[in-house]
A and B are shown apart, each in its own frame.
Chain A
Amino acid sequence: MIPLSYYVAVATILFVIGLAGVLIRRNFIIVFMSVEIMLNAANINLIAFASYFNSLDGQITAIFVIAIAAGEAAIGLAIIIVVFRRKIATNVDQLNLLKW
């Protein structure tokens, strides 16, 4: 049996990699992919704790996280398509319409 802390450590590393991807990449879609990496890390944590504590609640929460991720991907990619089609920006750092 693998200790619980190993799963939490792997999830932490994945989460930090996703965070770094959000910070360093300029492409919209890669930024969204990095958010998916972070959500997956959270899912690993939820399911690891649910499995080690003999409870199903964490697994149900992980299902909800997957559903939210699907909705977020649909909305985010629709926004990206609008931004590209109207030629507002091609990279994240050019997008400053809401800056004051």
Chain B
Amino acid sequence: MITLFFAYLALVSIVSAVLTIALRNPVHCGLALLTLLLHVAGFFVLLNSEFLAMVQVIVYAGAILVLYLFVLMLLNLKTEERVFHQRTAVITFATVGISGLFVLMIMSSEFPSISGSVTPEVIDFVGHTKAVGITIFNDFLLQFEIIAVFLLGAIIGAIVLAKTPLAREDDSSDKS
């Protein structure tokens, strides 16, 4: 059963990733990306990390993708005649070759089996969200604070970048 789910998720996520970079209309690309993100969340559920699956759906599919679609609607992009670069065929061929080579290498390689202390039974007993929370606020507190400052800087940067040209237009219209 798990194998069936894995095959479904793998197939749909790869197909929707290809559609994301191949479709002509940008809004359709955004919807294909949404499909990909939801199926990646399915992968996270298969890997016993329910909290990450919820974060993926809420932050990626809920916030980031809505941001992309907002900008797409705001800019009113036309579907262009020439959506690809000139050497698309070469790059596509190289892509298929490189990914086939990598997959062959990965399939034939042995991964070491290190075993930590957080087994699925422990996570089931504590609860995944609580386990993640305890780890993030004990072992990763410094990184957590750095991320907080980074997000603050990103908010300020986005506001400043998006506001500046409008203010200059107002200045020029005042002078004239």
A82 contacts partner chain B, Cβ-Cβ < 8 Å:
yes
Main secondary structure of the interface of A (DSSP, over half): helix
Q: Within A9-38, which residues are at the interface with B (CB < 8 Å)?
A: 9-10, 12-14, 16-21, 23-27, 29-30, 32-34, 36-37
A residues apposed to B, CB below 8 Å = 1-2, 4-10, 12-14, 16-21, 23-27, 29-30, 32-34, 36-37, 40, 43-44, 47-48, 50-57, 59-60, 62-64, 66-75, 77-82, 84-86, 91, 93
Chain B residues with Cβ below 8 Å from A64 are 140, 143, 147
**Closest beta carbon of chain A to B28's beta carbon, Å:** 11
**Residues of B participating in the A interface, judged by any CB pair closer than 8 Å:** 2-3, 6, 10, 13-14, 17-18, 20-21, 26, 29-30, 33, 36-37, 40, 43-44, 46-49, 51-52, 55-56, 59-60, 63-64, 67-68, 71-72, 74-75, 77, 80, 82-85, 88, 91-92, 95, 98-99, 102-103, 106-107, 109, 111, 113-120, 131-132, 135-136, 139-140, 143, 147, 150-151, 153-155, 157-159, 161-162, 164-165
A84-B84 in contact given A33-B68, A47-B44, A63-B52 (Cβ < 8 Å): no
Min C-beta distance of A76 to chain B, whole Å: 9
Contact of A54 among B119, B155, B159 (CB under 8 A): B119
Beta-carbon contact of A24 and B2 below 8 Å: no
Q: A5-B106, A69-B64 are in contact. Are A48 and B47 (CB under 8 A)?
A: yes
| One of B26, B116, B139 near A29 (C-beta < 8 A) | B26
The answer to whether A17 and B52 touch across the interface, beta carbons within 8 angstroms, is no
Q: Is the CB of B151 within 8 A of A34?
A: no
Q: Is the beta-carbon distance between B17 and A2 smaller than 8 angstroms?
A: no
